Chains A and B, each alone.
Chain A
Amino acid sequence: MSATHTFLNRLEERITHLRESSTEPEPSWIAARRQAGTARFEALGFPTKRDEAWKYTDVRRISEGDFALAQNADFSKTTAATLGLPLEAIRLSFVDGVFSSDLSDMTDLPQGLGVEPLSQALKTNHESVGGSLGRLSGVEFSPFAALNTAFTDEGAVIRIGPGVVVEKPIVIQFFSRANAQPVMSHPRVLIEAGARSQATVIEHYVGEEEAANFTNVAGEALLERGAILEHYILQEAPLGDLHIGSLHIAQDRDSRFTSFNINLGGALVRNDLVADLNGEGAEANYYGLFFAQDRQHVDNHTLVNHNAPHTFSNENYKGILDDRARGVFNGKVIVKRDSQKIEAHQSNANLLLSDRAEIDTKPELEIYADDVKCSHGATTGQLDEEAVFALRTRGIDEQTARGLLTLAFAGEVMDKVTLEPVAERVERAVAGKLPERFNLSDLVDVATADQA
């Protein structure tokens, strides 16, 4: 377990730094959590391919790396503006894991909404986050979650009061810089959605092209009665970045959670989504799209726990893999005993564009109740040659035909995306990355001209 040492040394360095920079002693609950996280991480070590949950994902690029900790949040405003989403939004920004107030925009928050960096929340009123932080994403989940818990220093805290409807999306921006020595960050995301509240939260990962940092994020979302939360993960990290992320969701009665998990960037990306449907009428929707090329590796693990009767889940993941990219999908639905009248559907479709791309998919069902309607499906294949031909007969060149059909394949998921600018950005990005690159913008212009 020598690989863990470099990480533990950095951790110690970080904790010493935190203690020295603060006049007050650290709250005891944080110290306890750090200890638990460290112990757990030490005990587990980094996962290997012998662990079922990591069977297809090799994390040696992380474990064998030497990642420093970022010392500041210096980042050009113009670059941030070009990289960021073109949305009118509430913004919370982190540069290599360090909070940047310059790049954040938290003015004009509606009544009942709290958005702040974790460091600030811990400083001003640590007890307010003590109850919920780490309640869902404990140290037991994975070595990475344990490591994240050991760090517990920065992140985003979003609290939506009961009945509050937040019109503007809340964007959490994670910028990755091209550092001389790669750095790592262990941010946490905590979302507390009060009863009947409504909000959209976007985790946006993006950065400078040459960056090669390691981000290990642990997220938690607590949805109270009737809360509606839309959650985006827009992964546009630089192609050298390593990313491990998890999001745990607890849902009370009649709440609705929708996840859009879009993966375009990163060298190695692993996402875990875990939703606990604890109250009747709770509903979870997972929509995912991953596009990988070169030697990118994207691993998506999702889990839905139907802990209460009359709960619903729906999942649709689409994967497009090119070159020597590798995709992993593992979707699991567990229906607990006595959770009757459940509906759970799951689907994963993959498109392989190259002979050297690989997809490993495993849609699982574990069902202990009988009055359920559950289904899952997984398909892998290539573009329908007849469809390509049909477009060709209509005068569309082959390149464009293949590009359009690939986009149409992703369309089933992209159509669900509620934020138009995000959907457009993703579609354009995919179109621009396809092996048969074609200019979507031109096509859009032609179509608009035709309509006019």
Chain B
Amino acid sequence: MATEEMEQLVRREYTQGFVTDIESDTVPPGLDESVIAFISKKKEEPEWMLKWRLEAYHQWLKMKEPSWAHLNYPPIDYQGISYYSAPKKPEDRPQSLDEVDPKLLETYEKLGIPLHERAALAGVAVDAVFDSVSVTTTFKEKLGEAGVIFCSISEAIREYPELIKKYMGTVVPQGDNFFAALNSAVFTDGSFVFVPEGVTCPMELSTYFRINAANTGQFERTLIICEKQAQVSYLEGCTAPQRDENQLHAAIVELVALEDAYIKYSTVQNWYPGDEDGKGGIYNFVTKRADCRGDRSKVSWTQVETGSAITWKYPSCLLRGKDSVGEFYSVAVTNGRQQADTGTKMIHIGEGTKSTIVSKGISAGNSDQSYRGLVKIGPRAKRARNFTQCDSLLIGDRSGAHTFPYQEIGNSSATVEHEATTSKIGEDQLFYCRQRGISEEDAVNMIVNGFCKDVFQELPMEFAVEAEALLNVTLEGAVG
């Protein structure tokens, strides 16, 4: 669409005003320009942001939902989803942890990660996202002292428009893919992190995402920028309560690492996977990408995926800087009727770039899981190096495990290695444990945890403990 047309459109929206009631906390299901304008207005965004969203929306309209993934789900009615919901009114938001909904805390407790304890123990600044709006932010001052900006993306759009303009959409462009375009049009919240040159973030940053209100999709957008020689470790964890209707989640995460910067991004995802028949689980279509722009920059993705009915997620690295490094460590566990198509893309562009991929998939019950990865070595990526290992463990004869690793190598000085195995838990391994008085369930958990050890080691300590607990909960009843 031509820019003039676009501008006209934008202006028209403004002259006509908004149809939707600004005071309301949820918009009716459906998506059109007025909904996007409503979201933008609600977030008190400047005009250029709305324009940006509308550009994305118009691209999205022309796109088709991808069908290449090894996934099977009923068609999504994008007009049947409400694209904005906020919990209560802003002034009613809890100002501290004590004011947080006790039920929310209870859910965390069940998982063995009491929020207050974690925050205190680990010195984690928590920016808990309770249905699309940040509800509590702590440790802001301490971060401020170091010069680190850690806030919601909406706040960043208002407070730091220059940074947003400079970086947003440069890693994942508006029209990158169907879900990214949708997100770019309607994203409601997310985190923004900016670590200035030479600063090592004094604590691990963490955001908890929750999906709560029925029938709303959550569209998070996260942007992390590490300037030269800066470092940050970011933790993302998710839980969701039981729902009957499928909830769509299409997030975007953009990471930018300049020279000598290091970003570590860890995720534990435990959204509702649906009931025994696979009904009601969350659809998770995420675009995560890191841009290692600077020389010697490094980005490390670690993910533990145990939830969601459908997972479509490929955290990727664009290794542009000389000697930049990309890492991807993943454990994905599926049970019941869960389906996961996940993996990574490592695009080697700069000289001497290195990447490591370790992916462990466990599928149980009637679930289906695929590893889909791309390692691309460009002609200028001399001495590029990749090592990939993806192992699958099958539990039960109704589960499926698949690997689709793409390798495109255009440089003779590159070394690329890929290994993959698929097997089940060995009878002899089980027997060995049973013989020593370990119950079958414990033995399976132990073996599975051992299988995932390479990845868990990459997680921050307290996250690793949580991940192991999650794994055991997910596999409950998988072995009878």
Residues of A in contact with B (beta carbons under 8 Å apart): 52, 56, 337-338, 340, 350, 352-382
The residues in B between 368 and 407 inclusive whose CB is less than 8 angstroms from any CB of A are 379, 392, 394-407
- In the complex, are the beta carbons of A360 and B420 less than 8 A apart? no
- B68 located at the interface, meaning its Cβ lies under 8 Å from any Cβ of chain A in the complex: yes
Residues of B within 8 A of A362 (CB): 404-407
Task: Tell me the interface secondary structure of chain B in the complex.
Answer: strand
A140, B418: Cα distance in complex, Å: 32
- In the complex, are the beta carbons of B424 and A371 less than 8 A apart? yes
- B414 located at the interface, meaning its Cβ lies under 8 Å from any Cβ of chain A in the complex: yes
State the 8 A-B residue pairs at the shortest beta-carbon distance, nearest first. A352-B412, A370-B394, A374-B422, A381-B415, A378-B418, A358-B410, A380-B416, A375-B421
Nearest CB on B from A304, distance (A): 14
Instruction: Identify which of A359, A361, A370 gathers the most chain B CB atoms within 10 Å of its CB.
Output: A370
Closest to B412 in A: A352
> 16 A-B pairs, CB-CB below 8 angstroms?
A337-B397, A354-B412, A355-B411, A356-B379, A359-B408, A364-B402, A365-B402, A365-B420, A365-B422, A366-B402, A367-B400, A370-B396, A372-B422, A375-B420, A378-B418, A381-B417
Nearest CB on A from B350, distance (A): 15
- B413 located at the interface, meaning its Cβ lies under 8 Å from any Cβ of chain A in the complex: yes
A373, B284: Cα distance in complex, Å: 31
Nearest CB on B from A373, distance (A): 6
Nearest CB on A from B308, distance (A): 21
Choice from B68, B399, B412 contacting A370 with Cβ under 8 Å: B399
- B464 located at the interface, meaning its Cβ lies under 8 Å from any Cβ of chain A in the complex: no
- B439 located at the interface, meaning its Cβ lies under 8 Å from any Cβ of chain A in the complex: no
Residues of A within 8 A of B68 (CB): 52
- In the complex, are the beta carbons of A372 and B424 less than 8 A apart? yes
- In the complex, are the beta carbons of B412 and A355 less than 8 A apart? yes
Choice from A337, A360, A365 contacting B409 with Cβ under 8 Å: A360
Choice from B400, B410, B414, B418 contacting A366 with Cβ under 8 Å: B400
A370, B402: Cα distance in complex, Å: 12
- B145 located at the interface, meaning its Cβ lies under 8 Å from any Cβ of chain A in the complex: no
Given that A358-B408, A367-B422, A372-B394 are known contacts, is A381 also in contact with B403, CB under 8 Å in the complex?
no
Closest to A322 in B: B412
- In the complex, are the beta carbons of B418 and A352 less than 8 A apart? no
- B21 located at the interface, meaning its Cβ lies under 8 Å from any Cβ of chain A in the complex: no
Residues of A within 8 A of B417 (CB): 377-381
Closest to B420 in A: A376
- In the complex, are the beta carbons of B397 and A380 less than 8 A apart? no
- In the complex, are the beta carbons of A371 and B420 less than 8 A apart? no
Residues of B within 8 A of A372 (CB): 394, 422-424
A448, B125: Cα distance in complex, Å: 75
Task: Knowing that A366-B402, A377-B420, A380-B414 touch, tell me 9 more A-B residue pairs with CB under 8 angstroms.
Answer: A355-B411, A355-B413, A364-B403, A370-B396, A371-B397, A371-B424, A376-B419, A378-B416, A380-B407
Residues of B within 8 A of A366 (CB): 70, 400, 402
Residues of A within 8 A of B403 (CB): 363-365, 376
Residues of B within 8 A of A381 (CB): 414-417
Closest to B393 in A: A370
Residues of A within 8 A of B404 (CB): 362, 364
- In the complex, are the beta carbons of B409 and A380 less than 8 A apart? yes
The residues in B between 292 and 325 inclusive whose CB is less than 8 angstroms from any CB of A are none
A355, B402: Cα distance in complex, Å: 32
Residues of A within 8 A of B396 (CB): 370
Given that A355-B411, A359-B409, A372-B394 are known contacts, is A367 also in contact with B402, CB under 8 Å in the complex?
yes
